[in-house]
Structure 1
């Protein structure tokens, strides 16, 4: 529980007996591990700090509100709202000297190494927020995700780093279990975990046992081998490996109360994706130098990836639904079908490759030889007026294939919230636009102020 946020809410709303209410929450969440007098002192201190924070005014202390909360706008839910915010993130950061940066909506950032023909590839992935109670699984899947994002740029990962935050009442052993999950992927892949950070979420102000964190990774790639989403070209074929899922599939299995959850989770514990890409990098033909696009089917599922690739490369993508069905591991697919989860709109951790048709078969064979199944699932065309930019062929009929407002609902709570676009979405976007522009203006003011000090 965020005590500081709760205290600020009480103060702003002029709630009576604010200290008593706060004290009650502290005792409740601390599970009676704190005495009455100690809780009273604790509550008084929290209120004092919250009041002090609310009283501070000035440019660097305040930000322009958008009027749309993270949940309302679908941020982190891998749909239309989330994609829109990510575009705005690139807008706020602005154009950089990087080869690929946040504005490219790609899996990783890329910069040029000085006096070299190589690029440095950098990425970071947050752990699945619902796996807080399962630190090992959270660590395993976020480590795998970070390495995927390096590999799909055509790069070989060199090292990983981690960041772990555990709330005040979380057991310290959560750190070790989480790191064990990351280290398992490190050992299996041969990519070392070299550094990290460990903190409490919100310090003393957040009570409970919630854990969050991320894993970053770095790697290098020759300029001739870089694959990026904007390189997809008309005439290309779209290939996908069989996906077993990661954090999303694990979360769906656990929180849906699926009777075969243990079997599904066990299927996710592999590094097949990494093995598949490594096979391409190690091939005599160096297929990564001829492949146009590599990405992982994660954020928003293949629906989301199709949307982003189509937009970045200005091409039309057409998928075959029967072929996509082959790309979900049978045990995982059975769960999706039983729980009525649309696998096309969630992360299944497949490798998606877009390449010229003449190398499609040898690419598939190279990956098959490494022990991973791969199929042709679609094609790339020029955009055409009157046709969907992203399409799905179902029973011979072409249908629009675009992200929903949120990724496909894969837990009971997500199904309760739904996937529909809120009626005031356009109004929310205006608030988001204004807030992003205000952040840019603020950055420019502060940068100018700091530079002028040196004058």
Structure 2
């Protein structure tokens, strides 16, 4: 519960009363609660003198824009972030500078109450992101935030989840930060944060922009990660959760890197599923994925696939944590098999046909606003927005430009100071 948010939204008398009620709920009846509520209101009033550093409202909220929901809305937002940071629109898995690959992955939003899993899956994801670019991992960095009422055991469980992966790979936790969410302003038990990874690329990076017409699309079996684990937990599939606690895809990456002369590009089937992966790669390389859907489905862990089918969750629009390899050579399938990694050719890269991805019979596979809804709550919210894509684009652009103006103003003052 964000107590500062209450103080910013409501009149003082109502805000004070509600803040005291929430404090009593989490902290119990204490004489200090009234003074805390008054102090929060005082802080908010004082902070209102600094309006110039508050964002100008865009008129669209994170959920309605699709932020973090791994679909077209999220894709549009990332394009605006590229413009603010002056970064080339590459949509790749990791950043690369001087043959050092760097990536960061946040904790899955639904795993706050399962910190071991949150740490395990975030670490697996960020290491995978640098490995698919051709990097040998050196270590990870951690940023973990606990709410004020979070039991400290959550911190230890999170660290245990992270180091289960790093110990398996024999790499280290290089640095970290441990904080509270909002300090004293946020009460409750939810955790937030992320894990970053860095590694060295020995050879040419396996960029998404390397994907070219005529390449085979090879996919490894997907056992799922944070998304599939959340699906299993919040739909009550106990046997499926165990299937996600595997690191097969990291072994697949390692095997691919041992045969890197045959691999020209790699990525993973995560954010929004193969529907969105194809959009991002198509924008970079001007190609179309032509895939055999039956082969794709056969490479999803059988227990995971059955759960998705039972719950009517689209497997093409959800993170299954497979690895996609792009090569002109089919031999890598056999080499993966010798390492115990199930893999197959699921399709080919063709000249851009007007769509990012089509089935083997030429049927268009369209991207969606959000990833496939995979929990009961997500199914209620559904895969829609009250805004059209054009309206979202307009609101995002207007908001982005005000942020850029703020950046330019402060940067100009900084440069003037050292002229």
TM range (shorter): over 0.9
Structure 1 residues 277-316: aligned runs within 5 Å: 277-282=253-258, 287-316=259-288
| 1:44 aligned onto 2:24 | no
Residue 356 of structure 2 is matched in structure 1 by: 389
Where 1:410 maps in the other structure, the secondary structure is coil
The superposition leaves residues 133-160 of structure 1 with CA deviations (integer Å, 9 ceiling, x where unpaired) of: 0010111111000110010001111111
Aligned partners of 1:217, 1:424: CA distance in 2, in Å? 36
Aligned residues: 419
What TM-score do the two structures reach when normalised by structure 1? 0.89
| 1:317 aligned onto 2:289 | yes
Where 2:363 maps in the other structure, the secondary structure is strand
Residue 179 of structure 1 is matched in structure 2 by: 159
Over the residues paired in the alignment, what is the CA RMSD in angstroms? 1.4
8 Å CA contact retained: 2:289, 2:350: yes
Residue 216 of structure 1 is matched in structure 2 by: 196
Residue 98 of structure 1 is matched in structure 2 by: none
| 1:432 aligned onto 2:399 | no
1:16 shift after superposition? 4.3
Residue 352 of structure 1 is matched in structure 2 by: 324
What TM-score do the two structures reach when normalised by structure 2? 0.97
1:344 shift after superposition? 1.0
1:227 shift after superposition? 0.6
Runs of 4+ in 1 over 3 A off after TM superposition: 14-17, 421-425
Aligned partners of 1:418, 1:182: CA distance in 2, in Å? 32
The superposition leaves residues 19-57 of structure 1 with CA deviations (integer Å, 9 ceiling, x where unpaired) of: 122211221233x2x41x211111111111122222323
8 Å CA contact retained: 1:226, 1:289: no
8 Å CA contact retained: 1:92, 1:436: yes
8 Å CA contact retained: 1:67, 1:428: no
8 Å CA contact retained: 2:12, 2:41: no
The superposition leaves residues 56-76 of structure 1 with CA deviations (integer Å, 9 ceiling, x where unpaired) of: 233xx1323211110010100
Counterpart among 3, 19, 22 of residue 22 in structure 1? 19
Aligned partners of 1:368, 1:421: CA distance in 2, in Å? 43
1:250 shift after superposition? 0.6
Where 2:289 maps in the other structure, the secondary structure is strand
Where 2:5 maps in the other structure, the secondary structure is helix
Counterpart among 372, 378, 384 of residue 408 in structure 1? 372
1:428 shift after superposition? 2.5
| 1:139 aligned onto 2:119 | yes
Aligned partners of 1:424, 1:365: CA distance in 2, in Å? 46
Label 1:423 to 1:196 Cα distance change in 2 as closer, same or farther (>3 A). Answer: closer
Counterpart among 375, 385, 402 of residue 344 in structure 2? 375
Unpaired segments of 5 or more residues in structure 2?
none
Aligned partners of 2:397, 2:127: CA distance in 1, in Å? 32
Counterpart among 69, 72, 77 of residue 64 in structure 2? 72
Aligned partners of 2:15, 2:283: CA distance in 1, in Å? 50
The superposition leaves residues 297-323 of structure 1 with CA deviations (integer Å, 9 ceiling, x where unpaired) of: 100011111111111111111111101
